[in-house]
Amino acid sequence: MKHAYLKSLKIKRIILTCIVGMLMAGCDYTVPLVRMPEVAIDTDLIGKWERTAKGGEVESLLVLPLSKVEYLVVFPAGEKNEMFAKGCLWSNDSRTLIQLDWIGTAQPKLPENDRTFQYVSSSVEGNTLTLRLLNPDVVSKDIVSSEALAQAIADNKDNPKLFREEMIFQKVNN
């Protein structure tokens, strides 16, 4: 019985490691929307959040204030292969996004290329955090300037496929 449990646990860890690797390799953009953060962080995002992934594993997201204008984001928090990002807010006329710049892993491992940026739509309602990543099938990964990236987001503001599938987290009360 104990052997089967350990084997199951090992398989889950391997799957989680693969997911983390895909996320790091899957960072989408080479250009920041924000070079010098100036927008104050949204304190509603601060805290530890959890969700149950499709495979049944619980994933934790930790969002900490790094300064008045930046976050430190850790995902999946508490795991051997957790990843670290600096985050800040970017706004245009129609929306606010979180800019994530993935800076490394707990292994420690630096990003393998210059595609370290991802952009996230977020909303907090009570103890529920909903995140959606900007879809590189709609806003090209190959955009080479901050201005062109901002324009592509604005041009697609009404596109229902602008963002990927929702990730829903619940706040952990410590």
Q: How confident is the model at residue 102 (pLDDT cuts 50, 70, 90)?
A: very high
What's the pLDDT at 1? 54
SS (H, E, C) the chain: CHHHHHHHHHHHHHHHHHHHHHHHHCCCECCCCCCCCCCCCCHHHCEEEEEECCCCCEEEEEEEECCCCCEEEEECCCCCCCEEEEEEEEECCCCEEEEEEEEEECCCECCCCCCCEEEEEEEEECCEEEEEEECCCCCCCCCCCHHHHHHHHHHCCCCCCCECCCEEEEECCC
Choose among 133, 132, 128: nearest CA to 169.
128
Is this prediction's pTM over 0.85? no
What's the pLDDT at 118? 97
What's the pLDDT at 10? 42
What's the pLDDT at 46? 97
Q: What is the pLDDT of residues 105-151, one digit of tens each?
A: 888 877 788 899 999 999 999 999 999 999 999 999 999 999 999 99
What's the pLDDT at 107? 85
Q: Are 102 and 84 in contact (CB under 8 A)?
A: yes
What's the pLDDT at 156? 95
Q: How confident is the model at residue 26 (pLDDT cuts 50, 70, 90)?
A: low
Q: How confident is the model at residue 17 (pLDDT cuts 50, 70, 90)?
A: very low
Distance CA 72, CA 86 (A): 5
Q: Could you tell me the two tokens for 159?
A: 């596109």
What's the pLDDT at 108? 80
**Residue 76 identity (one-letter amino acid):** P
Q: Could you tell me the two tokens for 98?
A: 């979180």
What's the pLDDT at 54? 86
Q: What is the pLDDT of residues 35-87, one digit of tens each?
A: 999 999 999 999 999 999 888 999 999 999 999 999 999 999 999 989 999 99
Side-chain-facing half-sphere of 71: CA atoms under 13 Å: 29
What's the pLDDT at 93? 83
